Homo-oligomer: A and B are copies of this chain.
Amino acid sequence: MRQAAGKHSFERKPNILRLQKAKRRRQRAVIDQKWRCAGNVEDFEQLDTFHRAIRPYLCLAQVLGMMPLANVLSLNPQMVTFQLCSSGTCFSVIFLLLGGVKTIRLATKLFQGGINAKNIVGVVFFSSGMIICLNFICLARCWNRLIVPWSGIDIIMLFPPYTTTKHSLRRKLLITGCSLGCLTLVEHCLYYASSYYNYRMQIVHCQTNVTDIPFSGYMKREFADIFEMLPYNPIFIFYAFFLNGTFTFIWNFMDMFIILISIGLAERFQQLANRVLALAYQHVPDAVWHEIRMHHILLCELMDLVETNISHIVLLSCLNNIYFICNKLLTIFTKLRYPVNYAYFWYSLLFLLGRTCAVFLCASRIHEASLLPLTVLTMVPSDYWTEEVQRFTHQIRSQYIGLSGLSLFHLTRRSFFGMMTTLVYYEFMLLQLDAKSNKNDLPALCV
């Protein structure tokens, strides 16, 4: 790997990109070899890799048209690639078409009826859904370049001297995903409950001669954009619900995806920290420190790779969350008519806040885990305080390791606090403005 010294400064160096490619080729070769050592692919399936843990979510995303990857169920991460002609791409195209039609119809209606801060929410929701979907398709194109080095590191970190954690990564991701999924489902159902109850009450109060209230009436109002064009039959009812549900899923999947990635990365930094912590009060030869430091660099490079590929999704997620939280906060003092409206409003606000909080806290755990080895490093006695240890200490201290939104902000507890402070301050200003006007009566029920 080393060339003769002195030569390099006189010749024209080959392009840096070619060097990077060579490096990546080397990495793949190393992983392939490791796999061969790991026996066969069935053995590999036993390993608690991130690829195995995230696979169910990739499948789900593929079905909903977000990540058009071929061989998504394959045990071998190298097989999971983006292919233009695959079922995934097909799903994506269909979804984008249907979603695009819906968004355009909503936007047209909005411009015809006059735009304001309140009725714009629906269009923002659907168009942000489209943008999220496009971003994930972009991510799918680079997924292979991301998951192969990650699996390489996973293989290193799943064998001794690294210890595994009590619960497998797969289980952690499953529990996190399912909990978030359930909470999302409840929010989605509450939305329908609240809107149906409003519809029902309006009919009861305003149309005195009505005896039974048909469900179809509700459907025709809720999905006006669809049933104005298409006939009312079970297929299109399913279609209407499905499209709404898919967009809600996409909207939540983005945050969930950041959380899952963060858990995966934090786990590896935690394992490295555990290895270092286990070396406390022991004499550690320099070669071991070197190996640990090289693994730390590997992890940092993986972190950079992930950061490059998902930082636009992180930015999108934060903007999205802030917009919807602010939108909810704007109407926090508006009187609502029925308890179910209050239930939906507060559940959905708390759900939004909780989800945003979860994204920030999970992502900040990566940085916190990366700082853990420092405690042991300060305890290394002077006799064993070599250049390696010193460089490792400097490296951990001076680098910032963590996710960011296009480098505009980092996902830390501190920036979460700043965001919350601004929101609370905004709310206090609204409170004061509201106290001055005092005209928040309910609008007439029957127009």
Closest to A364 in B: B407
The docked-state distance in angstroms from the alpha carbon of A435 to that of B274 is 55
- Is A167 close to B, CB under 8 A? no
- The smallest C-beta distance from A375 to any residue of chain B, in angstroms, reads 8
Q: Would you call A431 and B160 a contact (CB within 8 A)?
A: no
Q: Would you call B290 and A382 a contact (CB within 8 A)?
A: yes
Give the contacts of A410-447 with B (CB-CB under 8 A). 413-414, 416-417, 421-422, 425-426, 428-433, 435-437
- The smallest C-beta distance from A60 to any residue of chain B, in angstroms, reads 32
- The smallest C-beta distance from A377 to any residue of chain B, in angstroms, reads 10
- Is A284 close to B, CB under 8 A? yes
Contact A391-B378, Cβ < 8 Å, known A5-B283, A8-B284, A326-B428: yes
Contact A378-B407, Cβ < 8 Å, known A19-B277, A284-B8, A426-B428: no
Q: Would you call B288 and A9 a contact (CB within 8 A)?
A: yes
Contact A284-B5, Cβ < 8 Å, known A10-B161, A12-B160, A16-B163: yes
Q: Which residues of B contact A282 (CB under 8 A)?
A: 1-3, 5, 8
- Is A406 close to B, CB under 8 A? yes
Contact A12-B163, Cβ < 8 Å, known A281-B1, A433-B432, A433-B433: yes
Q: Does more than half of chain A's interface fall in helix, strand or loop, or is it mixed?
A: helix
Q: Would you call A431 and B378 a contact (CB within 8 A)?
A: no
Interface size class on chain A is: 35 or more
- Is A93 close to B, CB under 8 A? no
Q: Would you call A16 and B290 a contact (CB within 8 A)?
A: no
Give the contacts of A297-350 with B (CB-CB under 8 A). 297, 301, 326, 330
Q: Which residues of B contact A45 (CB under 8 A)?
A: none
- The smallest C-beta distance from A343 to any residue of chain B, in angstroms, reads 14
The docked-state distance in angstroms from the alpha carbon of A251 to that of B2 is 53
The docked-state distance in angstroms from the alpha carbon of A19 to that of B117 is 58
Closest to A293 in B: B378
Residues of A within 8 A of B (CB): 1-3, 5-6, 8-16, 19, 23, 117, 160-161, 163, 274-275, 277-286, 288, 290-291, 297, 301, 326, 330, 364, 368, 375, 378-379, 381-382, 385-388, 391, 393-395, 397-398, 406-409, 413-414, 416-417, 421-422, 425-426, 428-433, 435-437
> Could you pull out 7 A-B pairs where Cβ atoms are within 8 angstroms?
A1-B282, A8-B279, A14-B278, A301-B375, A409-B417, A426-B428, A429-B432
